[in-house]
Amino acid sequence: MLNKDLIIIGGGSGGLCAAISAKKQGINDILILEQDQEAGGILNQCIHNGFGLHTFKEELTGPAFAQRLKDEAKQLNIPIWLNTNVTKVTKDKIVTCINDNGLWQIKAKAIIFTVGCYERSLGAIMTPGTRPSGIYTAGQAQKYLNQDGYLVGKDIFILGSGDIGLIMARRMVLEGAKVHGVAEIMPYSNGLKRNIVQCLNDYDIPLYLSHTVSKIIGKDKLEAIEISPVDKNLKIIPNSAKRFKVDTLLLSVGLIPENSLIQDLNIPLDKKTKGPIVDENLQFYDGMFAAGNGLHVHDLVDYVANEATQAGINAYHYLNNNLSKGKLHKIINKDNIGYCLPQQFHEDAKPFKLSFRVTKPISKAKIQFYDNDNLIKEIIKLNLFPAEMITININDDILNKINNDLSIKVVEINA
């Protein structure tokens, strides 16, 4: 059996950032395990720009962003095993993985899970109709186009207004396809505002809000789809379908953190984030940390980078027996909060960043913090959207007043 101080599972942006920060802190014996043939994760197929405004203070493409991290990891002599699939992790931190050199068991002192996420598929959304070819997740079509060099269709419809779907709408137009529209079941888009403007509006692609694909038509190949409006309960309103003759349906209906390794450990996941339940140190089990899209789905790679960098620092403190410990306070999501991270923190916690999403767009809101029923702090925020993560520093002014659980509410202020 091999031994390592720190194993990082996943060599995407999160894994690379975690490794770089851990190394800079002083952990020398690090190994990154990456299942793909190169590090960088999903950034490698995101050839559009807009990455890195926060991290590098300039606009980079996905591959360029990834390259900077890869270069830095190389400079720091951080080993990466590519084409390596982790098959098992045990609670005493033995990692089993396979690659073409064999099957390996490595005992780690700490593990950071930067495992990323996968796209929800057609099966998961139960759309009625046949199951022909011509239906792909947006990310899959993106890989075919940007990495393999092939277009999957010429007449496209997109279900879901997640960012990858919006990016792919523009991308397919630039490659000569016609994008007939984007349907979004919610009354608002799930993508970033800048993507709605730059990818749909600039190319006159209609966005059908409160609509979903109600039928898939075609025996072998997709021939057409129908979209229908939905009511307040997201149920399809009958007899109102609109038909589009398309050869391709792209799905951008959500991302799910990939946590089968953690589930195999019988460690429960957060029902909302579908990632592990972490404390303020991003730790979910003794010596196991999570960051990036495997913990929860982020808006921007910059946020992944920040979180993973923090996980690397925390892993260092863990190895030096220097992390906060003691009684755990839960963080309870109340009104209008979709989810919140971390889900708990220690009584002796140092100030930390708390991130949350709202469940609906709110133009002006009071964000309230309670110790049980006692209001201890209130912040006013403008323009809150489900697609945009809100981050707040939890400082001593809150921490010192918490004796029980910390509840958070978003209270709408009517204009």
Partner 1 sequence: MNDVIIIGGGIIGAFIAHELSHYKLKITLLEKDNDVANETTMANSAIIHTGYDPKDGTLKAKLNPIGHDLYKQICKDLDVPYKEIGAYVVAFDDNDIKTLEELKTRAINRNIIYEELYPDTFLKQEPNLNPEIKKVLSFPTTAIIDPMQTCVALIENAIVNGLKVFLNQEVKAIEPIQEGYKIKTQDKEYQTKYIINCAGINSSKIAKMIGDNSFDIIFRKGEYYVLDKKASYLTKHIIYPCPSTMGKGVLIVPTVHGNTLLGPTAFDVDDSLDTSTTLNGLEEVKTKVQKLIKDIPFNLTIRTFAGLRAKGSIDDFIIYENENHPHFINVAGIDSPGIASAPAIAKYVIDNFFNELQPKENFIKTRKGYYNFDSLDDETKAQLIKENPKFGHIICRCEKISEQEIIDCIHRPLVPKTIKAIKKRIRPGMGRCQGGFCAPLVIKILARELSINPKDICYDSINSNILKQESKGDDHVE
Residue 322 interacting with partner 1 (CB under 8 A):
no
176 Ramachandran zone, left/alpha/beta (phi>0; psi -120 to 50): left
By CB under 8 A, is residue 236 in contact with partner 1? yes
Choice from 1, 3, 102, 373 touching partner 1 (CB under 8 A):
102
Q: By CB under 8 A, is residue 243 in contact with partner 1?
A: no
Binding residue (CB under 8 A) for partner 1 from 1, 3, 77, 101:
101
Closest approach, Cβ 178 to partner 1, in A, equals: 13
Q: Which of residues 151-180 bind partner 1 (CB under 8 A)?
A: 151-154, 175
With a CB cutoff of 8 Å and minimum separation 6, the contacts of 148 are none
Q: Is 99 in the site for partner 1 (CB under 8 A)?
A: yes
Say whether residue 2 binds partner 1 (CB under 8 A). Answer: no
Looking at beta carbons only, is 74 or 221 nearer to partner 1? 221
Interface with partner 1 by CB under 8 A: which range of 72-80, 129-137, 278-286, 304-312? 129-137
Q: At what angle do helices 13-25 and 301-319 cross, to 10 degrees?
A: 40
Distance (Å) of CA 402 to CA 145, 194, 334, 374, 396? 52, 38, 17, 10, 10
Task: Classify residue 37 as exposed, middle or buried by CB count within 10 Å of its CB (0-12, 13-18, 19+).
Answer: exposed
123 binds partner 1 (CB under 8 A): yes
Contact present, 56 and 65 (Cβ < 8 Å): yes
Q: Is 1 in the site for partner 1 (CB under 8 A)?
A: no
Per CB under 8 A, the segment of 82-90, 160-168, 192-200, 331-339 that binds partner 1 is: 82-90
- What's the closest the beta carbon of residue 236 comes to partner 1, in angstroms? 7
Single residue of 1, 77, 126, 373 touching partner 1 by CB under 8 A:
126
Can you name the residues that pair with 7 across neighbouring β-strands? 31, 111
How near is the Cβ of 135 to partner 1 at its closest, in Å? 9
Interface with partner 1, residue 272, by CB under 8 A: no
Distance (Å, rounded) from C-alpha 84 to C-alpha 256?
21
148 touches partner 1 by CB under 8 A: yes
Residue closer to partner 1, measured from CB, 144 or 188: 144
CB of 12 to partner 1, least distance (A): 13
Convert residues 32-71 into a mask of x (bound to partner 1 by CB under 8 A) and - (unbound): ---x------------------------------------
Neighbour-count burial for 96-125, b at 16+ CB within 10 Å, e otherwise: ebeeeeeebebebbbbbbbbbbebbebeee
Contact region for partner 1 (CB under 8 A) — 134-142, 297-305, 351-359, 370-378?
134-142
- The answer to whether 248 touches 134, Cβ cutoff 8 Å, is yes
Binding segment (CB under 8 A) for partner 1, from list 100-108, 279-287, 348-356, 405-413 = 100-108
* 119 binds partner 1 per the rule CB under 8 A: yes
Instruction: Using the minimum distance from each CB to partner 1, give the nearer residue, 140 or 189.
Output: 140
Q: Which among 322, 321, 339 is positioned nearest to 408, based on CA atoms?
A: 339
Q: Does 240 bind partner 1 (CB under 8 A)?
A: no
**How many angstroms separate the Cα of 239 from the Cα of each of 171, 216, 358?**
33, 15, 33
The 3-class secondary structure across 233-270, one letter per residue, is CCCECCCCCEEECCCEEEECCCEEECCHHHHHCCCCEC
Sign of CA dihedral 29, 35, 41, 47: positive
Distance CA 315, CA 322 (A): 10
Give the C-alpha distances (Å, rounded to integers) separating 324 from 28, 242, 317, 354, 355.
23, 57, 9, 16, 19
Using CB under 8 A as the binding rule, whether residue 198 contacts partner 1 is answered as no
The Cα 183–Cα 334 span in angstroms is: 30
Min dist. Cβ of residue 88 to partner 1 (A) = 9
Considering only 10-18, 57-65, 101-109, 380-388, which stretch makes contact with partner 1 by CB under 8 A? 101-109
Measured from the CB atom, the residue of 247 and 280 that comes closer to partner 1 is 247
Cα distance between residue 399 and residue 240, in whole Å: 53
# residues near partner 1 by CB under 8 A: 55
Task: List contacts with partner 1 (CB under 8 A).
Answer: 35, 83, 85, 87, 96, 98-103, 105, 118-119, 121-124, 126-134, 136-137, 139-140, 143-145, 147-154, 175, 214-216, 219-221, 236, 247, 256, 258, 260, 263
